[in-house]
Structure 1
Amino acid sequence: MECAAAMPPKSLCVEPWAGADPRRWLVVEWRNMERSQGNVPYALKKQDGWIYNLGVDFIVKLGERGQGRRLAVLEYLTADDEWPGHSHPTEDEIFYVLKGALTFRCGKEEFDVEQGGFVFLPRGIEHGYRIRGDSPAHLLVVTAPAPGPEAGIGWDGFVSGLETTAELRASPPAP
């Protein structure tokens, strides 16, 4: 199916990134958020932010280009029972479990974390998680530092490549 046929309102399609399944499109959607330019305070309501659909909707609360790159804040809800092992060479990750129960793996360590729990996963160590039970997990994730787009790696580097396209092809929703 072509991306345009499945797009929600106020969204756009972006070609898959290098190494992704070429049959899969990435949907970037506005949700009541204007792009911040520079160091400007702002507040977001529930479900507001930039949405990147990677099989799961990642709601980016902070970490977009022009907002500073000290960290990125993401929120997502997933029913996928396991997130495969991966690592980030430059970023630490912090997970706060809003709902659900998970087992996080980091190197040889395992941590059982439930609603209200927190886990820190240092950069450079392979990590992943699996959901325990039948309920989806709702997570708030902080990555730090979020490297600039010149690095071409990490969440901010990945997102900045998509933002250039998004800024050119999308406009904020009407007030």
Structure 2
Amino acid sequence: MAPDGASPSGPVIARRLAAPLGISRVAVSKSPARLQERGHIRRTPSAADRRSVEVVITEAGEQDIDALLPRPLEREVELLADLGEDRAQVAAALARLAQVLQAQTQTAEPSPSREAGTVMSRERFIKLLPGERRPGRIPLPPPFQIKARTEDTEGRLSLLEVTLVRDIPRHTHHLDDEMIYVLEGELGVHFDGEDQTVPAGSFVLLPKGVPHALSRAADAPPRVLQISSPGGWECYLEDLAEAGPATSPDGSFTPATLNPIAARHGIQYEE
């Protein structure tokens, strides 16, 4: 049974896996990335709390579990069967040992002090060289480079380097603020009924709940740093990439093709 009574195949908040699995929250923050790369799980922002990431096992993951679990369980039954009359006593002793080990582990874990926070922060350190990106659920097109995923920042934000090769139609973020720093070129921003030109070296904050659109203000596509707070923007882009050409059949984005996916992430394009 999964935490909070969820079924094994249902979504679970990633940080809640630490206690049932007997591992640290730092380990929980690292393991899902490897499991996702192998196609065993899928991660998406929590609809209830955008700072959290939900983990759900994929069909491929369930198949691997079904293939791996039977043999250890069969071996356990064989070992217990060989104990004969001592089986109950041994089982009780093992259960008691497990309780003691769990208690010792909880006692040994550092309290949420400044020192413990420093250790966890060091574990989360990331360095990316020019052109490098964070791995994702599926590869994104070259104009999108993930620099910090939602889980990298414990849900606080996600950061991408984006080259705006297509104009983004007027839309509203209902869950997150969007921040953009222009690295190269000129970005056109239509915000709350007004058009703005944002040159290189400039910054804009686009609060949630206010409609806006993005465009190229010059011939060369602008290159920007795009921050979503709380995070989750990269998960939306991955869903779009997974949908493929269906989201832009004629080479441009339209509300009719974007909204079915955008709605899952609290985004709405005006039709």
Q: Aligned ranges for residues 70-149 of structure 1 at < 5 Å?
A: 70-80=156-166, 82-146=167-231
Cα–Cα, structure 1 residues 135 and 73, in superposed 2: closer, same or farther, change >3 Å?
same
Instruction: For 2:237 and 2:175, locate their aligned partners in 1 and report how far apart those are by CA, in whole Å.
Output: 15
Structure 1 length-normalised TM: 0.58
Unaligned runs of 5+ in 1: 1-10, 14-37, 147-153, 163-175
Give the RMSD, CA atoms, in angstroms: 3.0
Match of 1:65 among 148, 151, 154: 151
Instruction: For 1:121 and 1:76, locate their aligned partners in 2 and report how far apart those are by CA, in whole Å.
Output: 16
**8 Å Cα contact 2:177-2:228 kept in structure 1:** yes
Instruction: For 1:69 and 1:114, locate their aligned partners in 2 and report how far apart those are by CA, in whole Å.
Output: 29
- The one-letter amino acid paired with 2:198 is V
- The one-letter amino acid paired with 1:68 is E
- The one-letter amino acid paired with 1:50 is R
- The one-letter amino acid paired with 2:165 is A
Cα–Cα, structure 1 residues 98 and 84, in superposed 2: closer, same or farther, change >3 Å?
same
Q: Kindly state the Cα deviation for residue 125 of structure 1 after the two structures are TM-superposed.
A: 1.1
Q: Which residue of 2 aligns with 1:30?
A: none
Match of 1:155 among 233, 238, 243: 233
Count residues in correspondence.
119
Q: Which residue of 2 aligns with 1:24?
A: none
**Greater RCO, 1 or 2 (C-alpha within 8 Å, sep 6+):** 1
**8 Å Cα contact 2:164-2:222 kept in structure 1:** yes
- The one-letter amino acid paired with 1:78 is L
- Which structure is larger by alpha-carbon Rg, 1 or 2? 2
Higher strand residue share: 1
Structure 2 length-normalised TM: 0.39
Instruction: For 2:175 and 2:233, locate their aligned partners in 1 and report how far apart those are by CA, in whole Å.
Output: 10
Percent of residue pairs bearing the same amino acid type: 28
Cα–Cα, structure 1 residues 159 and 97, in superposed 2: closer, same or farther, change >3 Å?
closer
Unaligned runs of 5+ in 2: 1-36, 40-119, 241-271
